């Protein structure tokens, strides 16, 4: 990328909510993200698509702070967060859901969400009061469960939920910290079409929330996204409105005839 283009990029990203600037990460000889530039505007649902192994989950992990990038910069609301640890990013308003369902299986559904809320209420060095009696955690937790439609499952253990319900719980936990931005890593992974449709309507109901969405389910992507970026071999080959991306020849080549 030449200097002029880089400057243009930097200017564009000045107004961006979340700005990813030249992010690089390689594992041994494999480059997972190779100079990724991407801007997410406030209030938009920005989808990242791409074939398997394009580096989508690696990108997510760098954004949420679980993987340190080799080079590049991540700026959130004008603040450089490239080297902030994961737990601190959660505090400034970035929440993440995981591709591989990672709710706390041995805890009840509402305990899972209450824990997410607890994370934003200052420190948790409170050793004496039973956590399950703290109404300032239980009530908002229940409200989040209503949002994702899991309120009737509140006292089940997470391991007793179906796959689709666990994905809903995953979203409720991400919402639990009242984030300003959601990083959603394949929220529809492994879902039946019914479950996926339900998830789409849940995410649609969160209108106004800034989201970065990594997803394979193209129906879901085109139903939700206001802009789409296409990632191939760790590089962004196109960014634009859904209808532009659908017609983009480079994108069609990358997907080798897969209907978009």
Partner 1 sequence: MIDQTIARRISQLTRYIRDISGKVWNQDPQRSVNAIVLKVLIVLLPLLAFFTKLTRYIRDIGVKAWNEDPQRGVTAIVLAVLIVLPPLAFLMGQTFWLDVATRLVILSIAAVSLNLVLGYGGMISFGHAAFIGIGAYAVGIPSYHALYGGFESAASHNGFWHFALAIAVSAVFALITGAISLRTRGVHFIMITMAFGQMAFFAVLSLETYGGDDGLTIDTRSELPLISLDDPLQLYGFCLAMLFLALFMVHRIVNSRFGMVLQSARQNEERTCALGFNAYIYKLTAYVISGALCGVAGALLGNFTTFISPEMMDWTRSGELMFMVILGGAAHLFGPLIGTAVFLLLEEVLSRFTVHWHLPFGIMLVLAVLFMRGGLSGALSRWLDRGVGKS
Position 66 contacts partner 1 (CB under 8 A): yes
Q: Which of 63, 77, 49 is nearest to 228 (CA)?
A: 49
Residue 53, by phi and psi: left (phi above 0), alpha (psi -120 to 50) or beta?
left
CA distance 13 to 155: 44
Position 180 contacts partner 1 (CB under 8 A): no
Judged by beta carbon, residue 90 or residue 200, the one nearer partner 1 is 90
Judged by beta carbon, residue 107 or residue 197, the one nearer partner 1 is 107
Give the interface size with partner 1 as a residue count (CB under 8 A): 40
Q: Which stretch binds partner 1 (CB under 8 A): 76-84, 128-136, 200-208, 214-222?
A: 128-136
Single out the residue of 128, 155, 194, 256 in contact with partner 1 (rule: CB under 8 A): 128
Judged by beta carbon, residue 125 or residue 259, the one nearer partner 1 is 125
Position 76 contacts partner 1 (CB under 8 A): no
CA distance 131 to 118: 9
| Displacement of CA 235 from its chain's centroid (Å) | 18
Judged by beta carbon, residue 90 or residue 225, the one nearer partner 1 is 90
Position 238 contacts partner 1 (CB under 8 A): no
For the chain, the first-to-last Cα distance in angstroms comes to 28
Judged by beta carbon, residue 39 or residue 170, the one nearer partner 1 is 170
Single out the residue of 132, 163, 247, 253 in contact with partner 1 (rule: CB under 8 A): 132
CA distance 251 to 243: 12
Is residue 238 a contact partner of residue 250, using CB atoms and an 8 Å limit?
yes
**Coil vs helix vs strand at 90:** helix
The number of CA neighbours under 13 Å toward the Cβ of 116 is 32
Single out the residue of 104, 222, 233, 255 in contact with partner 1 (rule: CB under 8 A): 104
CA distance 43 to 245: 20
Position 107 contacts partner 1 (CB under 8 A): yes
Q: Which of 31, 11, 29, 30 is nearest to 21 (CA)?
A: 11
Contacts for 130 with CB less than 8 Å, ≥ 6 apart = none
Judged by beta carbon, residue 122 or residue 249, the one nearer partner 1 is 122
Judged by beta carbon, residue 41 or residue 120, the one nearer partner 1 is 120
Position 135 contacts partner 1 (CB under 8 A): no
Q: Which of residues 15-44 bind partner 1 (CB under 8 A)?
A: none
Position 102 contacts partner 1 (CB under 8 A): yes
Q: Which of 19, 100, 49 is nearest to 229 (CA)?
A: 49
Single out the residue of 24, 26, 134, 190 in contact with partner 1 (rule: CB under 8 A): 134
Point out which residues bind partner 1 (CB under 8 A): 64-66, 85-91, 95-96, 98, 102-107, 111, 114-116, 118-120, 124-132, 134, 137, 173, 176-177
């Amino acid at each position: 990328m030449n200097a002029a283009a880089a400057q243009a990029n930097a200017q564009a990203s000045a107004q961006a909510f979340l700005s990813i600037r030249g992010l690089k990460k390689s594992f041994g000889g494999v480059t997972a993200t190779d100079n990724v530039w991407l801007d997410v505007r406030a209030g938009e649902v920005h989808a990242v698509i791409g074939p398997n192994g394009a580096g989508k989950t690696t990108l997510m992990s760098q954004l949420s702070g679980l993987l340190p990038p080799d080079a590049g910069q991540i700026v959130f609301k004008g603040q450089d967060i490239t080297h902030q640890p994961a737990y601190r990013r959660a505090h400034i308003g970035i929440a993440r859901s995981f591709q591989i369902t990672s709710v706390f299986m041995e805890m009840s559904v509402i305990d899972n969400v209450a824990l997410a809320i607890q994370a934003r209420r200052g420190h948790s060095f409170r050793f004496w009061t039973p956590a399950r009696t703290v109404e300032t955690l239980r009530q908002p937790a229940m409200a989040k469960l209503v949002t994702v439609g899991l309120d009737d499952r509140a006292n089940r253990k997470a391991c007793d939920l179906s796959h689709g319900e666990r994905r809903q719980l995953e979203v409720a936990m991400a919402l639990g910290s009242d984030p300003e931005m959601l990083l959603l890593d394949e929220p529809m992974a492994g879902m039946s079409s019914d479950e996926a449709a339900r998830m789409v309507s849940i995410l649609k109901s969160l209108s106004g929330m800034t989201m970065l969405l990594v997803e394979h389910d193209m129906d879901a992507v085109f139903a939700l996204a206001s802009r789409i970026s296409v990632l191939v071999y760790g590089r962004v080959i196109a960014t634009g409105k859904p209808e532009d991306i659908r017609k983009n020849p480079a994108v069609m080549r990358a997907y080798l005839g897969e209907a978009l």
